């Protein structure tokens, strides 16, 4: 069993990539909806939740863990690895490296939660992979909550997206990194705001490739999916068709 978790619905974007990369694997997805969002919490709070959820998935027999949350990865992936040295742990980090390699203007942007935007891990990635590139880090408070509430058609969200994206484009940014797994579900709105002026960078497929490399015998299961949530599990199931992931329902055990 491969365990995948996030504060809520955002990690479903990574789960979809994982299922595509490992179609026969068995997955257990945990949404920590009793404590969503993580993006406005302290590192200590996030670490407590990551260790609790990761420990629960390990106790359920998961032999590979995927932290499908940028905020949780930045704040707690090292602590989770230390707590479970015998279990491979795959984290999700913003695609700074590919964005820096691909940019033609020499300017990139990272859209992130408030916690990720100020995290030492993000700024370490920038130092290591974006030397000579101008990086704009844009905190986007409330975006993950709109996804959690499935308010993707809220005019206020579209207005805020335009308000945050337009100055980045005006500054010459040509690669925009999605620094939160929830933001994958905002891609249609983001592309509408961006047009052809920049390209979005999403790392879900790269995370799935890494999980496949580490999966070993876990790649050969029954193709089943178990969904869990720490609160309101019915919302997790109901969200699948709303997020164009209805096809995953056929896998649910």
Cβ proximity of 115 and 43 under 8 Å: yes
pLDDT for res 138: 98
Residue 179: pLDDT band with limits 50, 70, 90: very high
Q: Which of 22, 180, 204, 236 is catalytic?
A: 180
Query: What contacts 136, CB < 8 A, 6 or more positions away?
Result: 107, 108, 109, 110, 168, 171, 173
Cβ proximity of 28 and 62 under 8 Å: yes
| Span 191-225, pLDDT tens digits | 999 999 999 999 999 999 999 999 999 999 999 99
Quote the DSSP letter at residue 247. Answer: G
Has 69 been annotated as catalytic?
yes
Average of per-residue pLDDT across 132-137: 97
Whether 82 shows a pLDDT value over 90: the answer reads yes
pLDDT for res 109: 98
User: Could you tell me which of 16, 31, 18, 11 has the C-alpha nearest to residue 227?
Assistant: 31
Helix/strand/coil for 253: coil
Please count the CA atoms within 13 angstroms of the CA of 103 that sit on its side-chain side: 25
- β-bridge mates for residue 111, sequence order: 138, 178
Average of per-residue pLDDT across 160-188: 98
Whether 115 shows a pLDDT value over 90: the answer reads yes
* Packing angle of the helix pair 12-21, 204-215 (nearest 10 deg): 50
CA–CA dist 157, 163 (Å, integer): 10
Has 62 been annotated as catalytic?
no
User: Could you tell me which of 243, 215, 247 has the C-alpha nearest to residue 8?
Assistant: 243
pLDDT for res 101: 97
| Span 10-61, pLDDT tens digits | 999 999 999 999 999 999 999 999 999 998 899 999 999 999 999 999 999 9
How much is the pTM? 0.95
Residue 253: pLDDT band with limits 50, 70, 90: confident
CA–CA dist 165, 110 (Å, integer): 11
User: Could you tell me which of 210, 244, 191 has the C-alpha nearest to residue 77?
Assistant: 210
pLDDT for res 24: 98
Average pLDDT, rounded, for the chain: 96
Helix/strand/coil for 90: strand
Output the DSSP codes for 53-71. HHHHHHHTT-SEEEE--HH
pLDDT for res 8: 96
Q: Which of 21, 69, 110, 111 is catalytic?
A: 69
> From residue 72, how far is each of 42, 179, 194 by CA, in Å?
11, 12, 28
Rounded to 10 degrees, the C-alpha dihedral 189/193/196/198 comes to: -90
């Amino acid at each position: 069993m491969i365990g995948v978790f996030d504060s809520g619905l955002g990690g479903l974007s990574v789960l979809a990539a994982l299922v595509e990369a490992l179609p026969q694997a068995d997955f257990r997805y945990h949404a920590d909806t009793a404590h969503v969002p993580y993006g406005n919490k302290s590192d200590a709070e996030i670490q407590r939740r990551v260790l609790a959820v990761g420990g629960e998935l390990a106790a359920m027999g998961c032999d590979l863990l995927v932290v499908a949350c940028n905020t949780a990865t930045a704040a707690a992936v090292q602590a989770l690895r230390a707590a479970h040295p015998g279990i491979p742990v795959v984290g999700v980090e913003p695609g700074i490296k590919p964005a820096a390699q691909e940019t033609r203007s020499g300017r990139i942007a990272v859209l992130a939660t408030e916690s990720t935007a100020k995290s030492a891990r993000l700024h370490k990635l920038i130092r290591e992979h974006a030397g000579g590139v101008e990086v704009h880090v844009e905190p986007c408070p409330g975006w993950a909550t709109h996804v959690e509430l499935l308010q993707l058609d809220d005019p206020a969200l579209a207005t805020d997206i335009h308000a945050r994206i337009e100055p980045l484009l005006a500054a010459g940014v040509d690669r925009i990194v999605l620094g939160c797994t929830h933001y994958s579900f905002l891609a249609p709105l983001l592309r509408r705001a961006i047009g052809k002026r920049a390209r979005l960078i999403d790392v879900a497929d790269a995370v799935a490739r890494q999980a496949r490399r580490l999966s070993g015998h876990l790649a050969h299961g029954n193709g089943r999916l178990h969904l869990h949530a720490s609160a309101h599990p019915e919302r997790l199931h109901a969200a699948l068709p709303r997020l164009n992931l209805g096809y995953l329902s056929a896998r649910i055990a």
